Structure 1
């Protein structure tokens, strides 16, 4: 790991020369790859505090607004998967200390969407967070066994109906999930329907508690 880090550092000047670092939102020159320019950085809005109830808490890195939306679109639909480093660092800054053993679980994609997109953006974020916090990543702990249509334009109740029963715990990991503390990772939390479906599946599998970590969260004051 240390050798790999030193190699990246030694090659950084060459990479910067061939591919000058640019802000992933506006294209302005920045000091290093994976950073935002001052103007775009100032466009991010950070939540005042986390929220949640019972044994489920939420840590959102940013409020979903035009700036965070552009980052999400580039990461999720624009093939800019290298943005996982930037987005996960912002998420890590909002996460509390997770004492003891935790499993890091990404929100799953249906296999059809995974084949189309080529990667699960939530899994990339989960991988970065698990590595940084020294926690165990279980990338296939949840399974989206039924394809669901795009939730865009649907209200909260309609989203919940679409996702009802669509996500289940992977039978191969039931023993591992029973009694476990779970960090559930997603890129954007809109109405909460997807994460609620995931939380229900995890609780049915016997998880002790679930903490949700997302990059951006839609909030009433941000709409």
Structure 2
């Protein structure tokens, strides 16, 4: 208890000092801001938030309103293994740069802002879930990057929504190639059988409604392979929540 009081006192002092040494800047262009995390008005205009109307299954934005519950051609032709997908933004311009900054430049300071946008976009998926699981990295890739961006987003969402967080309940059993530059079929083959729920974690997943968190959705190969592993372990349902998704051609 004594140390908690010490740390709280230090954080109250360190907060203002930290803001003087590292003043808040825009997550996009680096311009000075009054508060962080945030983006400036100019960068804000470059973001494409995904709002209704969109496909109720794939979260794919429509250019015009076709009515509540309408599904995209992709969802009808190739129904996904997960129950629903929600994304905060279209994967382009600043959204893509934010993902790259978090993933490759250790910009962990972006997590609160990105997670807040994901929570807003994923209200339905969050309400339908009771366990948050991030898409895992293979151990070797985790050692190179030092942290898993999907796990940091998932942790922030679980904490804010007061949901159980289970980062160890899904494991990447083998190393896979980067999905960047691969076609849809290559992506699916690359991650086929790549995930598993460890036997010791099966009780954590069985019968639970899982919110699977990742940073980006493109073809859906990764989250589909992860969903299959969770469902094989007895998950009652899997919803997917990502920061950004491609505007079309996902599926």
Asked if TM exceeds 0.5, the reply is yes
Q: Is 1:129–2:157 an aligned residue pair?
A: yes
Q: Which residue of 1 is the match for residue 84 of structure 2?
A: 57
1:172-211 matched pairs, under 5 angstroms: 172-211=200-239
User: Residues 87 and 244 of structure 2 are in contact (CA less than 8 Å); yes or no, is this contact kept in structure 1?
Assistant: yes
The change in CA–CA distance for 1:94 and 1:9 in structure 2 (over 3 A counts) is farther
* Gapped regions of structure 2 (runs ≥ 5): 58-78
Q: Residue 138 of structure 1: which of 160, 166, 181 is its match?
A: 166
Match of 2:16 in 1: 13
1:214 positional shift: 0.4
Residue 21 of structure 1: how far off its partner (Å): 1.0
Aligned length: 221
- SS where residue 175 of structure 2 aligns? coil
- Secondary structure (helix, strand or coil) at the match of 2:45 reads helix
Cα 1:11–1:57 shift into 2, 3 Å? same
User: Does the aligned pair in 1 maintain the 2:82–2:240 contact within 8 Å?
Assistant: no
Q: CA deviation at 1:12?
A: 3.5
Is the partner of 1:187 in helix, strand or coil? strand
Flag the 1:121–1:158 CA change in 2: closer, same or farther, 3 A: same
Q: Which of 138, 148, 159 is residue 120 of structure 1 equivalent to?
A: 148
Distance 1:10 1:41, change over 3 A: farther
SS at match of 2:193: coil
- Which has the larger strand fraction? 1
Distance 1:18 1:140, change over 3 A: same
5 Å-filtered alignment, 1:62-141, equals: 62-97=89-124, 98-99=126-127, 102-141=130-169
Shift of 1:221: 7.8
Aligned to 1:150: 178
Equivalent position SS for 1:211: strand
State the secondary structure of the residue aligned to 1:220: coil
2-side partners of 1:74 and 1:87: how far apart?
12
- Residue 30 of structure 1 corresponds to 33
When the two chains are superposed, the root-mean-square deviation of aligned CA atoms in Å is 2.3
TM normalised by structure 1 equals 0.91
Structure possessing the higher radius of gyration over alpha carbons: 2
TM norm structure 2 = 0.81
Q: State the distance in 2 between where 1:221 and 1:148 align.
A: 23
Q: Distance in 2 between matches of 1:205 and 1:219?
A: 32
Where structure 1 has 5 or more consecutive residues not aligned to the other structure, the ranges are none
Structure 1 residue 48 displacement after superposition? 2.5
CA 1:73 to 1:23, structure 2 compared with 1: closer, same or farther past 3 Å?
Answer: same
